[in-house]
Structure 1
Amino acid sequence: MESKALFNKYDKVQHLKTERTDWTIRVRAQAVWKGINRMTQEFRGLNVIFIDDSNSRIHAFLSAKICDLFPKPPKEGGIYSLSNFHVRVYSDDEKNRAVRFSKHIYFANHTQLIPEEDNITNIGPYAFDLYELNDVRKFVSDSRFLIDVVGIIEDCNMKCVRSREDESKMHIKFRITDGRSTVNVTFFNTLAEDLEKELKNMKEEPVTIIIASAKVNEHEGALCLNNYPATRFYLNTDHYSVKIMKERLLDPTFSIKEKDAEEGNALPIFTVADIKKLPKEYTESKVRCQITVKKVEQKTNWYDYVCTSYGEEVDIVEGRYKCLKCVRNIPYPDKRFRLATICNDTTGILAIVFPDDEIQRILGKNAFDVADEVGDDMTFPLVLKSFEKKELLVTLKIGERNLNKSSNIYTAIELNDPVESLGNHSPNKIEPTQVNDKSLTMEIDETIDILSSPPTAKSSNKVRTRDKNQFVAYEIEDNVPISKYKVVKIEKIEHVTVFAKCKGPYGSAEANLLPL
């Protein structure tokens, strides 16, 4: 009877209503974090995620005005008896909520918070509201909620990248997969450092990570999870989802990508002409193309200043760097590569932006390192010019603006060595590109001249220049207004294309690649 009376004296989180304050719940503090005003850096109060013995979760707020009334505030992992508090309903405009429950708790002057040593009601150490990785994209447009996910870390050998201007600023990047979908993750500052330390101590592989209360963002067309003050991570923890994840990965029928098997050599290879004719079904798809970098654009910035919390490009407002996404000033923004290039194959020209992480991998340097070598931000680095004339197999992320022709700038997400023979890998629904007869004839004639031996009387060691009156076919890129990047002038495109169509006897010598 005593045991029954003990359980009955506590209310359930799911039963809380706004009409009264004489509630008593027995809960565990799963996460505790400070609320800071982003504009003034003023301490607003403590935020807590409480869970009860039914694994129901609720957010609670302890205002800074009454924090002194609680000399022993809640600590993560602690079990408490909480009574006499206000229950309020979330408004529609409240964002970045760590819990989807429609109500939350407000501490009052008369609220009682009593720590308990014994876990009498058997409250679990944590509770999550987990989503599949292929559902993450829905949260890009729904900023009301943070998200809980679980996945396998693809590569545990990663390290924090520290800002050269502020050693306290750092980030760590990695990818997680559930066997069907893959999502990029970037942790910043303290959480990045904590993850790096814990991974060094992990002996069991693979490493399964549960990320609680992550913020969903989109960077350069790719989904990315970032940490928020409420974000916590758990490695190979004793949770049913971790066991299910490991069982799933052992099932060969599950470990297959849903869309185009979007990893490795399974991705389709397109020509430039094919990419320009992709149907709407390819929105947010990945495709590969083998191209030659004909020009690295030097008139646009080769780097961006980005927010250290969200990775979004910052604007200069009243002389200060400001992130419009998190609405705060960024005194020491991160610097990331953003290299605009003009690339082509035998079928046409494509404007492609090379991403920061791939440039770092190839060069072995970050944007701060390159800026230090150059000495000032106005001089374009020669090391970036070295990408010109290189042949690469590029993986592109096809955006909606590419397909509706509102943008002719394509975003690369991977840069790799070219395949030996491109072949015809285009899908059947994409019609083959029709090549101009004159262009085809010219290319065939030039190839014969290169491979065959001329008559002895006409033989020479000199490099023959092209006849200036010779016709060269070329393709001009659609003149589509591009935000943020300058539109390449037509005469420069002609120059680049003419160079592309001229096959000299030393053409193959220009195909030396950067070490990847």
Structure 2
Amino acid sequence: MELEKFDSIEALTTTRFDWKCRLRLQYVVGEIRNVRANIKSTKTDSEKVLTKFDLCDERHTLAVTLFDDFGTQFEQTLRCCKDQQVFVIICAAKIGLYEGLPNLTNYSATRIYINPGHYSVRQLRERIAAMPRAKAGSPPVEEMNFPMLTVKQIQSLPPESSECKVNCKVRVTKVEENANWYYAICTKCPAEIVKENGVFNCINCKRIIPYPDKRFRVCTLCSDSTGTIAIIFLDEDVSRILEKTVFDVEVEMFEAKTEGQFPQQLKELQNEVYDITLNITADNLKKGSKVYEAFQILDKVESGGNFDPSGGKHSEMADAISVDLGDDNMNTPNTGISSTKTRPRVHIEPLPFDPKGASPAKAIKKENPEKTGFHATNLKIKVRVIRLWRGTTKKGEEFTSFNILLLDCKNSTIHAFIPAVCAYDLERQIMVGTVNIISDFIVQAYKDTDGFRSVRAANQLIFTKETKIQQVDEHGEAQEQAKFAITDGSSLWKVTFWDKFARLFVKAIWEKMETPVIIIIAGCRVQNFNNEVILTNVAGTKFYLNYDHHSVKHLRRMLKDPDFAKKVAANNISTKAELLTVQQIQSLDKEFIQQGPSNHFPHCFSLLAQKPYTIKLEINEININSKCTLYWATNICHGFKLECTEDKVEQTVTTNDTEATTSTVDLQGLSGLNCNSSAITKD
């Protein structure tokens, strides 16, 4: 067989174009990024499973595709590797072109080495570490410099003005009690729903809502020294001010037997001064509406302060209801041309609902570019990762993509989605409970068709390959911890003190005092960490070592009992292992065994004795063949029910047919039982 001839690389010139060469890749080294596993390809007759990833050395990126079992085994091995940066050396790979770009694939001689101790890997690590990186810093504080206006200035805004937000300082003169103080929304979509014919029906979801969610919407009259306007307080701000939800208020009204009345908690908003950011809409500017929505309500201002934006008037204002109109000397403009004329609202006539008729076409809304999703390359957030989860298919297989929940310093939460294309790289950088600075992500608004929302927010974050995540310390410096455990002989609790409080505790514990040291911890926080209950300190936490208290004296007297002291010693988290020889181990007696609290038999179980019971037993093969007298009770009831049991057995085993009956259940080893006998015997 004649071998095919190839040209050598040294003979290549620019005068000829029909060269034919054979190339073999000896080895290539790089960092693994962007892993995509379990990709099923059906381009050919047989289905193939592909595993794709990118090989990068911070200068160039090369695509790699592994086929079938080789790729599956590589992906499983890669999952066990917990390093954030994974470097590989690929030997004897096949070079090809895929979509016009170089691509490496495997064949029988291909070998991959993960994080080997090779000098080329060390050089690549050092080169990547030495490359300049952007310094991580906290994002700048968001500044919302909205103009500060008085009520009169807000009412006199020209109609040709654009929609905007303005600040004002006003006093809540009156809380409208005749208006509804909450509204109902759908539990699936954020649409407001009303009760029709006794049920809540969501038009968007086209389903009945048995018990809708509820949100605050409080109508108020607010004033300053220049006038009065109506402001609607929305749910987020009212919940924050009251520190309660609508359901909390309803429960308190039920307990106080004031259902159907206006909540007393909302009446407390009256006569308070707030710094409010108003949302000026087209209805306020062009349609003359004097009802404004509060975009944000800051903490209340002390009533003794001067909250007049003009700054030239006295801080005390006159009540809106006590203004003397006679001071105007009847010098007011004609009502017909007055700019403050109240314009009638359009009356909307309700239409009867016909379930059989065709639904009218919805009006086409203009797409808001702010809600279609934009790439936030200039945004940077500092958040804590508080949750991470993955979705599953109907077959129970987990998706490669995953979701996280982020919390910032203002206790605001937002959902972030990490797609499969960058899930491998970002999952190694994300740890639940850590604080991270995240940049270069996409902000996307929820659609009306989105059925799942983990938080009450209008937008979500979408991470991409360009998203940068850098973990930082919560306080900018390392935190000190003092960890120990306490026990009272019956249970053991772990305790962790932090920072300055931990230093005070360590300093106090090292002083000479009576042992064992008995501690009293007051005002601590109980929290669950890694499925363990841990006590930590807060601002009001105090500790007392060997304090002169009757509980300390009582516990110290109990410790003098050898049995109790042995039980306390058995509750230690870990004990130091002694080094023994084989002969010493063989000579150990029963005193060496640590007896825990499990030897105590509860007294309530002993009360079951000397009482009549009917017990349903499960008879296994070991009871018959091995004569085991230990049976498993599957049911138990008080009293004797033998007669009912026999009737039930006869009813299930007897038949009027003379022919033998067949059964689909094969009970091996039970064919010789006499069911009519009260004793378990064999024929």
After TM superposition, the score normalised by the length of structure 2 is: 0.28
- Give the structure, 1 or 2, with the largest relative contact order (CA under 8 Å, sep 6 or more): 1
After TM superposition, the score normalised by the length of structure 1 is: 0.36
